[in-house]
Homo-oligomer: A and B are copies of this chain.
Amino acid sequence: MAVTMRDVAQAADVSIKTVSNVINDHPNIKAETRERVLLAIEKLGYQPNLSARGLRSGRTDVISLIIPDLKNAYFAELADAVMTAASKRGKVVIIEQSGGSRTRELEILHGPRMRMVDGVLYSVLGLGQEDVGLIDIPTPMVLLGERIFHGPTDHVTMQNIEASQAATKHLLQRGRTKLLAFGAHRNEVIGSAGLRLEGYRRALQNAGLDYRDELAIDVQSWHRSDGAQAMRQVLESGLEFDGVVAFNDSIALGAMRVMQDAGLRIPEDIAIIGFDDIDETRYSLPTLSTIDPGRRQIAETAVAMLLERIDGAAEATPAREFEADFKVISRESTAIKSAEDSA
């Protein structure tokens, strides 16, 4: 059997309580006693049993992160940011992939695994605003993403409308006027797609341009292959455009590849900007202009808020909402090369 606190206590000739005190950095221990205990721990190779501690204290120091899909670069980078933030505070992270499925998200949220973690960061995709009642679980939770607003929990998100508006303005400033809103979900009002489309509209309006519905291109799933396929259809249709506001980087990269195959030059013929600032955008050919959504800030804030809820520091505080700062990252795909660009 593994060595327990009792063994350590015996070896150090103190009570089990004293060992516990040393381990948990409690005050009121003579330096000499602490030394002795530490030595015994070292000698016996003692390691606390986390299950026992969890049972007794109600804390496991594990938090859960629910995301749609780790293979998606955006979520891999989010997971990394969350794990880094959690690790700084002594927590480890269990990642649960939902596949964006409603059923699976509910299963996870209401499953027994929730009882073994101190809290949850939930990046919503399957559920929507109408499900706001279903996310009121006993485990402390912080919501991520833009599918549900004003729920019963803290919420950390990015400035979708403002960022999308800035991205659109970025292209308008470069003289492009026939801009695709690439990645729309037509009948969505909130959700990333809905909000980003709204930002696109506002930018057009501010520039005195009309919104033309045929320029809003539906791309249901935001993977690279979907972006590629949607762009293929656009090119076949003969629709005229000189710029693309893509609602995430993956579909932007997919679309870029298809346009280049078709002989279009980027940015000379078509300027394109993405969303998310995934690592890859710095290495594509051309490099992709994009929106930095403030991922690190999102992760840090979400973890901090969650921990406050867990140790009750924010007990009296009502549900908070936090929007991270964003930045337009200008790269080659929207570079200004010469006067005839907008021709």
Residues of A in contact with B (beta carbons under 8 Å apart): 2, 47-52, 54-55, 60, 62, 69-71, 73, 76-77, 79-80, 83-84, 87, 92-97, 111-116, 138, 224-225, 228, 253-254, 256-257, 260-261, 279-280, 282-285
Contact = CB atoms under 8 A, between A and B. Distances in A.
Contact of A50 (B2, B48, B116, B284): B116
Given A115-B48, A116-B51, A80 B73 contact: no
Given A71-B80, A94-B62, A94-B93, A51 B55 contact: yes
A300 to B, nearest CB: 16
Number of copies: 2
A87 B107 CA distance: 13
A112 B5 CA distance: 13
A97 B71 contact: no
Contact of A95 (B47, B93, B253): B93
Nearest to A60: B51
Contacts of A280: 224, 280
A285 B283 contact: no
Contact of A112 (B48, B60, B116): B48
Contacts of A96: 92
Nearest to A224: B283
A112 B261 CA distance: 53
Given A60-B116, A224-B283, 13 more contacts: A48-B112, A49-B116, A51-B54, A51-B60, A54-B54, A62-B94, A70-B70, A70-B80, A79-B95, A224-B280, A225-B283, A228-B283, A261-B285
Contacts of A112: 47-48, 50
A73 B70 contact: no
A113 to B, nearest CB: 6
A232 to B, nearest CB: 13
A31 to B, nearest CB: 23
Nearest to A260: B285
Contacts of A225: 282-283
Given A83-B97, A138-B2, A254-B283, A55 B49 contact: yes
A299 to B, nearest CB: 12
Nearest to A57: B51
A3 to B, nearest CB: 11
11 contacts: A51-B52, A51-B116, A71-B76, A71-B279, A79-B95, A83-B97, A87-B97, A92-B94, A93-B94, A224-B282, A254-B283
A111 B92 CA distance: 12
Contact of A115 (B49, B83, B257, B285): B49
Contacts of A284: 257, 284
A71 B77 contact: yes
Contacts of A70: 70, 76, 79-80, 83
Contacts of A279: 71, 224
